[in-house]
Copies of this chain bind each other. A is one copy, B any other.
Amino acid sequence: MSLKYMILGCLTEVPIHGYDMLRVIFRDFAEQGPEVNSGQLYTLLNRLEAEGLVEREVVQQDKAPNRKLITITPQGREEFYQWLRSDAAEREYIRYDFFHRYGFLYKVNHFNKMSREERLDKVDQQLAQMEEKLANLESAWTDMSQRGKDPYRILILEYGIEAQKTKIQWLKRLREAVSSAAALDSDESQ
């Protein structure tokens, strides 16, 4: 379970309440803010509390709905640091992981079953999407470096940007291949 350690890691830095965590953690994974997956968060939080890794305290707010401030317990902190130092989650057994979960690539795998127009269409759409995403990442970078965030976190974002650029460059090559080659119109495989 990876979210568990995201939560604990987040809490090692500052106590926070659930809704804010949703915005902080999930905002970055799904494009827009909440209502994204409150489901998982609150149920996990229940479990973590039962396990004694976090504590929740109701904070009365006048003129606003009550919040529950979540703090990490010493055991929680302990477990997070142990995980952090272990080599858990660092190994990737998956050889073709770039392929895994990237539906578009899987469809390229079956391009020989599509017409040239269909291929071009798909590639162009993908390119547009990926370029938009790159722009997003880049503006996030500007934002982050202006706010003087932890340099490691900026570096992480820079990895994301590089990876995205690599993807785009490859998509352009793919586009070339689709648009130019009759030789690529092979039908058999294997």
Footprint of B on A, CB under 8 Å?
A: 2, 5-6, 9, 12-14, 28-31, 81, 84-85, 87-114, 118, 122, 125-126, 129, 133, 136-137, 149-153, 155-156, 158-160, 162-167, 169-170, 173-174, 177, 181, 183-184, 186, 188-190
The smallest C-beta distance from A187 to any residue of chain B, in angstroms, reads 9
A contact face: mostly helix, strand, loop, or mixed: helix
Bound-state CA distance A98–B177 (Å) is 26
Residues in B neighbouring A111, C-beta threshold 8 A: 152
Q: Does the CB pair A89–B106 fall under 8 Å?
A: yes
The smallest C-beta distance from A87 to any residue of chain B, in angstroms, reads 7
Q: Does the CB pair B96–A29 fall under 8 Å?
A: yes
Knowing A155-B173, A186-B151 touch, does A133 contact B95 (C-beta < 8 A)? yes
The smallest C-beta distance from A92 to any residue of chain B, in angstroms, reads 7
| Minimum CB distance partner of A28 in chain B | B96
Pull 19 A–B residue pairs with CB atoms less than 8 Å apart, ordered by A: A2-B101, A2-B103, A9-B110, A13-B190, A29-B96, A30-B93, A31-B93, A87-B125, A88-B103, A90-B103, A90-B107, A90-B122, A90-B129, A92-B129, A108-B155, A150-B190, A155-B170, A155-B174, A165-B166
Q: Does the CB pair A85–B118 fall under 8 Å?
A: yes
Q: Does the CB pair B189–A177 fall under 8 Å?
A: no
Bound-state CA distance A156–B81 (Å) is 38
| Contact of A106 (CB < 8 Å), options: B6, B108, B166 | B6
Bound-state CA distance A22–B96 (Å) is 15
The smallest C-beta distance from A142 to any residue of chain B, in angstroms, reads 15
